[in-house]
Structure formats: C-alpha cells, structure tokens
Structure 1
Amino acid sequence: MENEAVDQEQDATARRRLRRRVLVASVAGCAVLGGALALLPSGPGPARPPAPAPGARALSAVTSGVPAALPDLAALIERRERRVRDRPRDAVSWAVLGSAYVEQGRRTARPAYYPKAEKALRASLKVRARNAGALDGMAALANARRDFGAALTWAEAALKADPKRWTAYPQLIDAHTGLGQYKAAERALDRLLKLRSGPAVRATAAAVYRDRGRDEDAAAALSDAAAGARTPAERAAYLERAGQLAFERGDTEVALRHFREAVRLDPDQRAALAGQGRALAALGRTTEAVTAYRAALARQPRPEYALELGELYESLGLGQAARVQYDLLRERAAWAAAAGVDEELVLGRFEADHGDPESAVDRLREEWRRQPGIAVADALGWALHRAGDGEEALKFARRATDRAKGGTVRSALYSYHLGMIERELGREGPARRHLQEALRISPRFSPTLVPRAQEALQELGEPSLEDVPDFEDWSAGE
C-alpha cells in the first residue's frame, strides 16, 4: 500500500509539471502569433501583383522579339493608334505600331496589314531618321513579304544605328537564309549568341541548325525555347516550330502532339492547325486532316495551306474540291502580291504540278535570280523536270542537296525530287538511293508523293553492280 501511495504521488507530480510546460508553451505561442499578426496590414492586401494589361503584354513581346497573342496585339494596336493621333511626332509609338501591324499581318495572313505597317514605320523614320526600332521593323516587314534583299539592307541599317540591338539579328539571319547565304547566317547567329540568350534566341538558333542539317541540335534548342517561354502564345509558337521539325524528321506522332499542345495553349496558333492537318493526313486520318486544314484556312488563309489541302483532296479522288482550293490559292496569292508580298515560290510549286510547268519555270527563274535560296533551287529543278528539261533540272536539284552549296537540309521532298529526276534521266543507281533516302528521312512526308516514290522503287528493282556511284554522284552529295 505504501508503494502504491508513492506511485500515485509521483504520477500526480508528473501531471502538474506537464500542465505547467503546456501552459508556458501556449503563452509563448500566443505571443509569437500576436507579434506576427501585428506585422500584417489591417486591411486585405493583394496576394500577388496584378497581371499586365493585354496591350502591355503585347508591347513587351513586340519590342523583345517574341510572339504575342492576337488579342494582346489588337489591344496594343488600338492604344498606339490613339497615341500617334494625339502625338504625331512620337517616333517610338509609330515604330511600335508598325511592328505590331507586321506581327498581326504575319499571324493572320492578312496582307492588308503590311501597307499600314510600312506607312507607320516610315512615319517613325521621318520623325527620327536613325531610328533602330523603325529600321528593325522595316526588316521584319521585308522578311514577311519575302523580300530578303530589302530585309538584309534594313537589318544591317538597324545594327549600324544600334550595334547591340539583338532583335535585328533574327531578321538579318532570315534575310541571309532567304538569299542562300548560309555561312553568313551562321556568322550572324554567332554574334547574336554572344550578345543575348533566352527563348527567342534559342528558337532563332534552332532555325539555323535545321538549315545546316543539325536536326538534333535544332530539336534541343526548340525544347529549351518552349521550356523558357513566358507566355502561352510564346510557348505555342515554339511548339509549332518543334512540330514542323518533328514532321520533317518523320516523327509524325510527336509532331501531332506538339501541334495539338500549341493549339491548346493558343487557339489562335493557326500554323499549328495546318500542322495538325499535315500530320493527320500522313497518318491516314484523312477526315480529321481535312477538318484541321479547313479550320486553318478559315482563320489564316495562306496559299500554301490551300495547296496542301487541294493535294489531299486529289489523293482522295475529289478533283472538284481540289480545284476549289487551287482557285483559292490563286486568289490569296493575288491579294498578297497587291500588298507587296512575294508568293512566287508557292505559285511556282503549284503551277509545276497542277498548272502550267513552263509558267512555273519562268516564275522560279526570276525568283532564283532575286533570291537564290535552297527552297527556290529545289522548286526550280522540279519545274524544269516537269517542263521536260531534265538535264538542267538535275543541276538545280543537286544544288538543293549539295552540302558544299548550302543544301544541308534533311528534306524528304528534296531527295524525292532529285531521285525522280535521276530516274527520268536513266540514272537508276542514284535514283534508287535518293528515293530510299526520302523514305528514310520521313516515310510519310506526303500522301500523294510517298506512293509514287514506292512505285518508282519497285520499278527500279534491286541494285546491281552497275549501280556503284561514280565520282560525279559522290561529289554532288558531299
């Protein structure tokens, strides 16, 4: 009993000590909490800073060389139009307005924006001649119009006015590329990378890497650009470009995922809608492909989308539907030409396969004289082939795939064209190799051309000892 009483007394003492510790801790906790509450404002404060207004977002995008959302662009244009009405000698506002018009025209494929852009940019230059912002905008306008010679002149002028204006370098690079000056484009990229980093620069680098046949580097750069993008519209633009690259490489399912994600992020990403059509057609999902193309054309009526949809209709045996699209192509190209846009490349491609090959040759010869890029070399070579001049066609087709002359793009279409020209000329070994190469690069690059390539390979049969490439063939591929 005595031991039991001792135990009870010890338990009671322990409980008293525990209650004292809990009371002390509670008082201390209340004091800390009270001090913390005393530091808070008495009224409800904002949890985060307010989001920038749409016009401010577009201004940031336009002046920093990144894609902007269409509603934001519209808000920016409205505000700057009011400002230049009130302050007609505000050179900066005129330059911003002109650049916004360029972006709006490019994103919507509405060439009527381009004359407005030129008027605004020239108004800025009239107020202040050495105005790097307006000069940069003029370079972007010239590139949008596919006038690469003018774009080169304006971009160089912008850099002369402000050597550290990094947003002029993507315009300079696009101009060099359009003129077939691929080494100069690489040098310009090197200077840009020393001057600036970030998503927009990575996207520009990706385009140069792709043109030089460095597909893995291009894909990595676009992945980095998309990961670092600050807005949904910017990320969507980089995903669309990643989709294009994946499609060219034959990764059709990957391309479709990129295109769909781009549209999810930015429903106004209309190039991604057309990309969906391209990928779905390659996968044999033609009904969905037609729907995607029609949606893209309704919202961004680019002539090349009409050409692609027309060819898809032809592959389905829907000749009348195809002719409707070809008529639309001619109409849109005429509208673009009236606004100063050069659509000779797409018109030449169209005429070579669906119209008058002689007309295509005339168009593309003039385009080659003005802007001798690899895409023009390929198109001219194919037009010459369709017009019956195989030997000259072979020269241009080889140039489009000749590494020594800049033809380093891994293009299934270019290899297909070269192979078919060689087949027509009786060069069976090279023809077989280049047609096989086209299908290796992208087994589904075209719903109409892939079956023709496969049929041609069956007719060519298995290679023989006579198919060993001669020196001329090897040198053309180096």
Structure 2
Amino acid sequence: MWKTLPLLAALLAVAACAPPQAATPAATQTSSLQRNAESLQAKLRRTPQDASAWAQLGSAHVELARVTFDPQHHSRAEKALTESLRLKPDGNGEAFIGRGALANAQHDFAAARDWGRRAVSALPDSAAAQGVLVDALTQLGDSEGESVALQRMLDLRPGVASFTRAAYHFELRGRLDEARGALERALESASSPDEVAFCRLHLDKLDGRTDESVEATRELASKVPSPEHLVRYGEALDKAGRSAEARTQYDLALRQLRALGGDDLTAALISADHGDPAEALRFAEKEWAKRQSVFTADALAWALHVNKRSAEALPYSDKAVSLGWRDPSVLRHREAILGSLR
C-alpha cells in the first residue's frame, strides 16, 4: 500500500494547537459564482479573444452546476471551454482544468483523467490540476495514482480543497481518525461560511451525527437539492409512512441524475432500494464496464443481491471493502449479502 501522506501527517500533528480561523462574511456561494460569471461575460464582450477568460467562465459554470444542480450550466461550460481551446489549443492549462472538472461532474472519469494529465503537463504547479486528477483516479479505482496526485496537491496548496480530498482518501481506507483530523484541518482553513458549513456537514456524517428526521432532510434537500439529499429526504418520508411522497423524491433524484449527464452508479443504488431491481442491475453493470472502483463494486454487489444473485454478489462486496471502506450503507449491503448465503 502507498505510504502515509507525509505533509498531511505533519499538518495534522499541529492541528490541535492551531487556533481556528474565523470565517469571513461573504455572500452565498451561488451568488458569488454568478457575479463572477457575469463579470467574465462583461469582460469577454470587450475582449472576445481572451482564451483565459473563456476558460475561467467555463470553470465558473462547472461550479454553478455543482451548487445549483442546473444542467444548463454544463452546456454553458462546454461552450466557453470549447471557445477557449479554439483560441488557444496548445498549452491551455486553464481550459484543460475546466474540461477535466466538467468531465468529472458528468461522470466521464476516463476523460477527466486524460484532461487532468494534460492540465498537469501544462501547469505542473497547479493544485487545481492535481485536484482534477485526484477526483478522476479515485472514481476509476486507481489507488496508487490517486495517492500520488493527492500528495502533490497537498504539497502545492494545503487548504480546504486538498484537506477534504485527503479526508475522503482516509475514509475509503477505514482510517477514520485521520479522516476526521483532515476535516478538522480543512475547517480551520475555511474562509467562507459555505466552506465552514461543508466541513461541518462532513464531520457530522463521519461521526454519525446527521439528523435524518423528515424536517431536517427536507430542509437540506431544499437548500442543496442533490440526488443524495433528495434520496435521504425520501427515505425519511418512507420511515414516516409517507410512501407516495417518498416515491416523488426518488423519481426526482433519478430525473436529476439523467439531466446532469447520467450517474449510473447512483441510479443503480436508488433503483435497487426504491425502484426496479432489473433496472438497478442494468445501471450497475453499465457503470462497472467503465470503472472497477470500490464504489461500483458495492453498487454491483447490491444490485445482484436484490436480484437474488447473492453468490455472484459476494466477490464484488469483498472488493468494495478491500481498502478498508466502512461506510454504513456498504456494511449494510454486505451484511445482507452474507446473511442470505448462510
């Protein structure tokens, strides 16, 4: 296994004595990103040959899609990044980063890896370029490559973006104390209310302190209408006996996934738990053909199990926990699979 991240280990060692930094007052992330996009659009009306500004506009739309879940921003990002690359096809590191981030957002992780490598080649000292690679390689199941890219990102810029990725790195390997330490370090580095909220949310999830009541999940889904939060809201409704309302949330989550470019892994899990088992298996097998990560292994194992093929599911369940990942839903899937084989 790859060595412990040296810079992160050193930073975590001093985290306990480092005073927390106060979050600075700021507008919401969405309005800040929107203002940035509008400013770039105004600039491009004056200087339409500015390849860098087109790349920045594309990246801004990728981020807007991430926080608003509006698929129109993906098409806008595509147009802006295409124009940047038309104006500057070679060595355009900013556009390579943007294209990589867009590919990651659309779950085309092989393309994201390739764009990330081009970005790193053009901008070897860019933490953002390394971040594109970390995200793609994590999802592709390239543990060694992901670790190397993450270490380089930490070397270049130890901040919220790199610390939260480090936390995920540790969580997937069952090293929860180190994951918690990385998130605490990220929280200390946070400089906006949005970053603070993001870090605290993930710390609470890691510690199992999330509120799964109907009201709490409804509020979360209204603020951040991601497929994950819509499903959590649906599950809370299900537990409250409001199955018809729950079904609406599951269907909305699936429609959103398709609108954003198709996330067959998440669709497989939603369908396995709340929809058609046969459809869940089709989604999972399609995703497994593209990438053999611990995430797809869990989804395929669960899809096979709900189709009453638990013996076939077990090897995939084994792979899902092979790094040490101990996510509660993954363990629940594994326990059910093992239980059916006893």
Shorter-chain TM-score bucket reads 0.7 to 0.9
Please give the residue correspondences for 1:48-67 in structure 2 after superposition, counting only pairs within 5 Å: none
Identity rate of aligned residues, in percent? 35
**Which of these residues, 280, 285, 288, is aligned with residue 211 of structure 2?**
280
Aligned pairs for 1:178-217 within 5 A: 178-217=139-178
Q: Which amino acid aligns with 1:416?
A: R
1:372 to 255, 268, 292: 292
Residue number in structure 2 paired with 1:22: none
Structure 2 vs 1, CA of residues 198 and 301 (structure 1 numbering), >3 Å: closer, same or farther?
Answer: closer
Are 2:55 and 1:135 equivalent residues in the alignment? no
1:410 alignment partner in structure 2: 326
Unaligned runs of 5+ in 1: 1-51, 58-67, 253-278, 282-288, 427-478
1:342 counterpart residue number: 262
Alignment-derived partner of residue 135 in structure 2 = 174
Structure 1 or 2, whichever has the larger Rg, is 1
Instruction: Provide closer, same or farther for how the CA distance between residues 382 and 53 of structure 1 changes in structure 2, counting only shifts above 3 A.
Output: closer
Native 8 Å contact 1:108 1:299 kept in 2: no
Aligned AA (2:101)? A
Give matches, 1:350-361, under 5 Å. 350-361=270-281
**2:69 corresponds to:** 109
Q: Secondary structure at the match of 1:297?
A: helix
Unmatched segments (≥5 aa) in structure 2: 1-23
| C-alpha separation in 1, matches of 2:226 and 2:187 | 25
3-state SS of 2:70 partner? coil
Are 1:87 and 2:47 counterparts?
Answer: yes
* Cross-structure match for 1:12: none
Instruction: Go from structure 1 to structure 2 and tell me whether the alpha carbon gap of 1:321 and 1:220 turns closer, same or farther (over 3 Å shift).
Output: same
Q: Deviations over 1:31-84 (max 9, x none)?
A: xxxxxxxxxxxxxxxxxxxxx998xx9xxxxxxxxxx82221111111111111
In structure 1, the partner of 2:179 is 218
Matches of residues 243-258 of structure 1 in structure 2 within 5 Å?
A: 243-247=204-208, 252=209
Aligned partner (choices 36, 59, 64) of residue 99 of structure 1? 59
> Partner residue of 1:308?
232
Shift of 1:357: 1.0
SS of residue in 1 equivalent to 2:207: helix
Listed one character per residue, the Cα deviations across residues 212-256 of structure 1 (whole Å, up to 9, x for unaligned) are: 222111111111121122232333332233233222xxxx1xxxx
1:180–1:232 Cα change, 3 Å: same
In structure 1, C-alpha distance between the alignment counterparts of 2:220 and 2:76, rounded to whole Å: 24
Q: Deviations over 1:6-47 (max 9, x none)?
A: xxxxxxxxxxxxxxxxxxxxxxxxxxxxxxxxxxxxxxxxxx
TM-score, normalised with respect to structure 1: 0.63
Which residue, 221, 237, 247 being the options, matches 1:323? 247
Shift of residue 386 of structure 1?
Answer: 0.8
User: C-alpha deviations, 1:114-167, integer Å up to 9, x for none?
Assistant: 110111111111111221111111111111112111110111000111211121
2:35 matches 1:75 = yes
* Partner Cα distance (2:153, 2:244) in 1: 49
Separation in 1, partners of 2:207, 2:132:
24
Distance 1:190 1:160 in 2: 17
2:54 aligned partner, one-letter code: W
State the distance in 2 between where 1:303 and 1:412 align.
18
* Letter of the 1:311 counterpart: E
- Matched pairs, number: 318
What secondary structure, in the 3-state scheme, does the structure 2 residue paired with 1:280 have? coil
Q: 1:333 maps to which residue?
A: 257
Aligned partners of 2:107, 2:146: CA distance in 1, in Å? 16
> How high is the TM-score relative to the length of structure 2?
0.87
**Shift in Å, 1:375:** 1.5
Output the aligned Cα RMSD.
2.1
CA distance in structure 1 between the aligned counterparts of 2:161 and 2:253, rounded to whole angstroms: 31
Mapped contact 1:301–1:332 kept (Cα < 8 A):
no
Q: Distance in 1 between matches of 2:214 and 2:335?
A: 29
Deviations 1:434-453, CA, capped at 9 Å, x for gaps? xxxxxxxxxxxxxxxxxxxx
CA contact (8 A) 2:123 2:129 kept: no
Verify the 8 A CA contact 2:217 2:236 in the aligned structure 1: no
